Amino acid sequence: MEVSPTITASRSQPARLTGMSWAHFLNDGAANYLPGVLPAILISLNLSVALAGTIMAALLMGQALQPLVGLFADRVGGRVMVALGLAGSSLGGALIGFASGFWSLIGILVMIGIANAFFHPQALAGIRQLGGERPGTAMSVFMVGGEVGRGVWPAVASWVVVHWGLDYLWLLALPALATLPFMLRWAPRLPPRNTHATPIAWRRHAGPLSRLVAFSTLRSLMILSVVTYVPLMWTQAGGDLTTGASFITVLLVVGVIGNLGGGRLSDHFGRRPVLIAAMSISVIMLAAFLLAEGLWLWIVLGVLGISLFATLPLGILIAQDILPENRSLGSGMALGLANALAALGVMLLGPVAALWAPAAPLWIALGGGVISILLASGLPEHRETTPRSGTS
């Protein structure tokens, strides 16, 4: 009996979405485990804590290319850039342990950032196509893979370093090597943008896009400040490397609840109300974390992760709504450009941490979170757009 192509395509979506989420897990894990081993790298290379922000910025500044990569991805279509991004991120992650000095480490981290910029725009645009009538839920499932990777890999990497040393971090690239052959089957093939399509109305979109990028930058500054400076706070207070990395794991893995919940809530109540509520809770939780002790540190950090990461898929969807015919470009601006600007902020906060204490940048990031609530109130609400055809 012949199977209907429509039914086959429908049945294939959950499997492909799961595969893409797994690829996101591997890509973001390889590209973001650095904070879990950063204290060990600083000691190994005899570097100052003041350089922690610069090192993190080198890793993330490559994401500033995401809008340009997204513009190119929209123009050419396809899905090859997703596979190239995963390959480059994993290769760079494997090389971190072999860095012999500051500049070689910076070179490796820049390579990872560029590869990361290749992976995300095309992947994010494709995931929306797989989501059908529930783009928020589909985006949440995809983002969960990335956040779990970002949360689990710092702890795994720190365990590898404690037991075997920095030279064995290459082991973390093996799962990605086994996954690469499947990428062209899982990733949706996006159609190239019509050369006769209406040009982007930058004047009309400038206001909403500027507000969105500013919001996303301040939200990312909160996340990156916690990820970068909390392990340093812990180790400087006499704590061990693995426990310091576990703070990152709690923030990001428990934040998966926010990833899933934020997308589902936005499908029912709209994106702007969820953004405002989630960022308000985030500001309160970060302040509580800085004042908490003992078990409350872990509990408050988990709630902070839920509220912060509930906003992540929503910002990307809003960007894609603003630029419906350039969704890869919109994704790159909401995620990559915002992360790069936040990375610059983390770099500038490095001397603040060295001069006062690693907790000082977190108070500054908290102030940015307050401003982000005001920005969220001015973001455009969801409007339906017709998906581009041609995904396969």
Residue 256 or 77, more confident: 256
What's the pLDDT score for residue 346? 83
Give the residue carrying structure tokens 């899905």. Answer: 79
Question: Which domains are delineated in the chain?
Answer: 13-191 (1.20.1250.20), 203-382 (1.20.1250.20)
pLDDT per residue over 45-57, tens digit each? 888 877 877 887 7
pLDDT per residue over 182-213, tens digit each? 887 887 777 676 665 666 666 777 788 888 88
Four-residue CA torsion sign, 162, 356, 109, 123:
positive
What's the pLDDT score for residue 91? 92
What's the pLDDT score for residue 1? 37
pLDDT per residue over 7-19, tens digit each? 334 434 777 888 8
pLDDT per residue over 81-130, tens digit each? 888 889 999 999 889 989 988 999 999 998 998 898 888 777 877 787 77
Whose CA is closest to 121, among 177, 56, 52, 72?
72
Four-residue CA torsion sign, 332, 384, 378, 304:
negative
What's the pLDDT score for residue 145? 87
What's the pLDDT score for residue 389? 43
Give the residue carrying structure tokens 């893979």. Answer: 145
* Mean pLDDT confidence for 141-159: 84
**53-62, 154-163, 332-341 — most confident range:** 154-163
Long-range contacts of 162-165 (CB under 8 A, 24+ apart): 162/241, 162/242, 165/97
- Reply yes or no on whether the pLDDT at 229 is more than 50: yes
Tell me the two tokens of residue 131. 């989501």
- Alpha-carbon distances of 64 from 161, 256, 340, 377, 378, rounded to whole Å: 30, 25, 5, 25, 24
Residues 212 and 124: their CA atoms lie apart, in Å, by 17
Helix and strand numbers, DSSP H then E, in the chain: 18, 0
pTM of the model: 0.68
Question: Which helix or strand (DSSP H or E) is residue 24 part of?
Answer: helix 5-32
Whose CA is closest to 320, among 74, 31, 69?
74
Mean pLDDT, the chain, integer: 80
* Residue 381 backbone dihedrals phi, psi, to 5 degrees: -85, 165
What's the pLDDT score for residue 270? 80
